[in-house]
Structure 1
Amino acid sequence: MSRVLNVAVVGCGIGRSHIVEGYLPNSDKFKVVALCDLNPERLGQVADEFGIERRVVNFDDLLGMDDIDIIDVCTPPGAHLSMVTAALEAGKHVVCEKPLVGSLKEVDAIMALEKSTSGLLMPVFQYRFGDGIEQAKAVIDAGVAGKAYCGTVETMWRREAPYYAVPWRGKWKTELGGVLMGHAIHPHDIFTYLMGDIARMFGRVATRVNPIEVEDVISASLEMKSGALASFTATLGSVDEITRIRLQFENVTIESDHAPYNPGNAPWKILPRNDEVKDRIEALLADWQHVPSRFQTQMARFHDAIEGKGKLPVTSADSRRALELVTAFYHSSSTHQEVVLPLGPDHPLYESWVPAAYR
């Protein structure tokens, strides 16, 4: 029988969603035994809501608690590096919200640290999970889709003054970026999860919607390593909100559900080119088992990985790929040049993409 792992959640904003969507539906696998937040009022409210008795405001206090198996970091991005590092060095398993860290140098340091510590690190990309995206991936991975031709990603969301009333948002030092980092990073991860690595890109970023330091509009043209072409567009100024991913292959056209914050859940459109392809898809998906979306499945698979029953559902290498795209975006926009990936220590923005004036 699998162990029930004790969890400490750090940050009661998105951390509450981790509890509601991730840990409570997997109560046979996890128990949240501690909460940590700098805001005592919010800490008390969330702890009371879920009957969590252990409440701390000092993150370091968690590191010495021997009964805690997992530290779940749900703080503003600027705090991720120090917390993830300390938790791994303390021998804990770690969950960390996106973005994992704030530069390619930092993610490479985390990946090096993982090799010498006993705990597993799982970054969060909860949009990868659900029936829609997993059926699409099954069709692609089985070779039914055929050669990839092209694809588009549209992240059209809406963020206004109340959103930026939270002090750390919209600022380079604490949010580390704008729509690229906190919003479109999810659909862009879905795209590379399904279509593979990016070979080169030309991108632009702009701040056109809100009076903030970071970008809230982006657009890019990409070439994938497979040779397929792609375009990404995102804004935080849309009137309605959609996330739309459309992929064109030799044998199928695949289009995501348009739900902005859960595009992987509902069945996706998978349009076969002919009856033969249709029959292959129907046979492949005939005995499909429901996959709960978002945190529920990601956390369940994390437990399997800790117990040696499966691989990590999201890895630090996945986070590096996402942050590599972010780095390329900012570099391309500022230089008006195409960027060739992958990016290594010799890249001008390897140590930070944050403008020097804001570091």
Structure 2
Amino acid sequence: MSKPKSKPKSKPKTVAVIGCGIGRNHIAEGYARLRDQFDLQVICDLSQERLTAVGDEFSVPRRTTSFDEVLAMGDIDIVDICTPPTLHFPQVMAALAAGKQVVCEKPLVGSLHEIDQLTAAETRARGRIMPVFQYRFGNGLQKARRIIELGLAGKPYLATVETAWLRGAKYYSVPWRGRFETELGGALLTHAIHSHDILTWLMGDVASAFARTATRVNTIEVEDCAVASLVMESGALASLVATLGSAREISRLRLCFEHVTFESSLAPYAPGDDPWQIIATSPEAEARIAKALEGFTFVPSRFEGLMAAYHQALESNGPLPVTLEDARRSLELITALYHAAETGTAVALPIGKEHPKYGGWRPGATPA
């Protein structure tokens, strides 16, 4: 009797990384660790010094300063965009038009109008767009997600989310940082966006948001301190705090549900990693949770976990690990928070085309 034929092993997906700043992290933590899944062929950056340093470090065969040159390369499957935020929209649109699969750093774009345009463009394109939220990956957060998905957590009650990081003059010496025109926002958008994504991923959509922002740490245009109060669609309440003036850097989430309370690790740049505290409210709930976690499979952290899940989705043509819907939910909250801080009023979600900030949350942004 002949043995069943095994499925032939697929070739690694060819990748071009655009922007060698944060792009280096995508390579070091993701593509370089997953060489059976991805083949990094090209890097693109305006700095010849960065091209040489990153290219030599990871033995990248092709290096260019031209984004258009990358798009013309017929053998590249994936274009991974890690450029400053205001470049994301035109570059993602161009990569889609060139028939590429697209990965793009946060914030994906600068308005709800732009993300709705991307959603429409994706329906006509050969490739798909994966926004980047690498903090979703790690054992602790993934265990919490499983417990909630199985309905074992029960009714959500309350959440507190802290993003306490440190950014000073050296960080803001980069010309595009610290300005609404080029960075699009401050602590809420560029830094706390990760923890806020985790909150909504675990606790659902936001119904209403109120916020206050201030610039107290640095001499910059955007905010570096913020507080916010949310009402979730479930009725749960959440408080958000963010600062770039914390001598000890932490990211912390505490989520209280009917049957369990989750407390994240304090790791500022890997809050999804263990140890997460999973504290059941009763022995019965504890037993159900323990059973649900039997045989839990290790989930790599950050970009390794994200890119491994991305490759699996590409191979199966299944749902991407982060979707345009996820990115829109994140930017909808950002829009509400900035509008609330500007007007001093609570802002209801969802936000549609009729909202004054649909065309952009930046001060003076032109309505769509």
Contact kept, 8 Å, 2:360 with 2:366, in 1: the verdict is: no
Q: Is the 8 A contact 2:15 2:78 kept in 1?
A: yes
Cα distance in 2, alignment partners of residues 326 and 210 from structure 1: 21
Paired position in structure 2 for 1:160:
168
* Deviation, structure 1 residue 358: 11
Q: How far, CA to CA, are the matches of 1:357 and 1:105 in structure 2? A: 12
User: Which residue pairs with 2:135 in the alignment?
Assistant: 127
Contact 2:359 2:366 in 1 (8 A): no
Give how far 1:356 is off: 2.0
Give the structure 1 partner of residue 42 of structure 2. 34
Aligned 1:260-339 pairs, distance under 5 A: 260-308=268-316, 310-339=318-347
Structure-2 separation of matches of 1:173 and 1:2: 43
For 2:89, the aligned partner's letter is: L
Is the 8 Å Cα contact of residues 127 and 263 (structure 1) preserved in structure 2? Answer: yes
Q: Does the CA contact (< 8 Å) of 1:198 and 1:223 recur in 2?
A: yes
Counterpart in the other structure of 1:198: 206
Q: Counterpart of 1:266 in 2: which secondary structure?
A: coil
Aligned to 1:136, what secondary structure does the other structure show? helix
Q: Do structure 1's residue 173 and structure 2's residue 181 form an aligned pair?
A: yes
Query: For residues 271 and 296 of structure 2, what CA distance do their matches in structure 1 show?
Result: 19
Q: What amino acid is the match of 2:251?
A: T
User: 1:351 maps to what in 2?
Assistant: 359
- Tell me the CA shift for residue 305 of structure 1: 1.4
1:77 alignment partner in structure 2:
85
CA distance in 2, matches of 1:338, 1:232: 14
> What is the Cα deviation at residue 3 of structure 1?
2.7
Deviations 1:251-297 (A, max 9, x none): 11111001000000113100011111111111111111110011111
Corresponding letter in the other structure for 2:127:
G
Offset from partner CA, 1:77-107 (integer Å, 9 cap, x none): 0110110000001000000000000011101
Residue pair 1:173, 1:358 contacting (<8 A) in 2 also: no
- Give the Cα–Cα distance (whole angstroms) in 2 for the partners of residues 323 and 271 of structure 1: 31
Check the 8 A contact 2:359/2:365 in 1, yes or no.
Answer: no
State the secondary structure of the residue aligned to 1:180: helix
- The match for 2:196 is 188
RMSD: 1.3
Q: Is the 8 A contact 2:32 2:58 kept in 1?
A: no
Amino acid across the alignment from 2:272 = G
Query: What is the TM-score normalised by the length of structure 1?
Result: 0.98
Note if contact 1:205-1:329 (Cα within 8 Å) is conserved in structure 2.
no
Instruction: Tell me the number of residue pairs that the alignment of Structure 1 and Structure 2 aligns.
Output: 359
Unaligned runs of 5+ in 1: none
Q: Structure 1 residue 167: deviation in Å? A: 1.1
Structure 2 Cα separation of the partners of residues 13 and 216 of structure 1: 22
AA of the residue aligned to 2:15: V
Counterpart in the other structure of 2:216: 208
Is 2:150 aligned against 1:142? yes
Check whether the contact 1:91–1:119 (CA below 8 A) recurs between aligned residues: yes
- 1:15 partnered with 2:55: no
Is 1:230 aligned to residue 238 of structure 2?
A: yes
- Counterpart residue type for residue 102 of structure 1: G
Contact 1:151 1:231 in 2 (8 A): yes
Where 2:124 maps in the other structure, the secondary structure is: coil
Post-superposition Cα deviations, 1:108-164, rounded to whole Å, max 9, x if no partner, equal 100110000010110000000110000001111111111111111010111011111
Equivalent residue, structure 1, for 2:57 = 49
Q: What amino acid sits opposite 2:278 in the alignment? A: I
Percent of residue pairs identical:
56
Unmatched segments (≥5 aa) in structure 2 = 1-8
Q: What is the one-letter code of the residue matched to 1:75?
A: T
SS in 2 for 1:234: strand
Check conservation: 1:304, 1:311, Cα contact below 8 A: no
Q: Distance in 1 between matches of 2:335 and 2:317?
A: 34
Q: What CA distance in whole angstroms lies between the structure 2 residues aligned with 1:203 and 1:76?
A: 25
Q: 2:160, 2:255 within 8 Å by CA — same for their partners in 1?
A: yes
Contact kept, 8 Å, 2:185 with 2:222, in 1: the verdict is yes
2-structure distance, mates of 1:255, 1:2: 40
Q: TM-score, normalised by structure 2?
A: 0.96
- Paired with 2:354 and 2:365, the residues of 1 have a C-alpha distance of 22
Residues 357 and 279 of structure 1: CA distance in aligned 2, closer, same or farther (over 3 Å): closer
Distance 1:313 1:8 in 2: 20
CA distance, structure 2, for counterparts of residue 302 and residue 3 of structure 1: 15
For the residue of structure 2 that corresponds to 1:115, the secondary structure is: helix
> 1:197 is matched by which residue type in structure 2?
D
Is 1:67 the counterpart of 2:92? The answer is no
Q: Is the Cα contact below 8 Å between 2:104 and 2:130 reproduced in 1?
A: yes
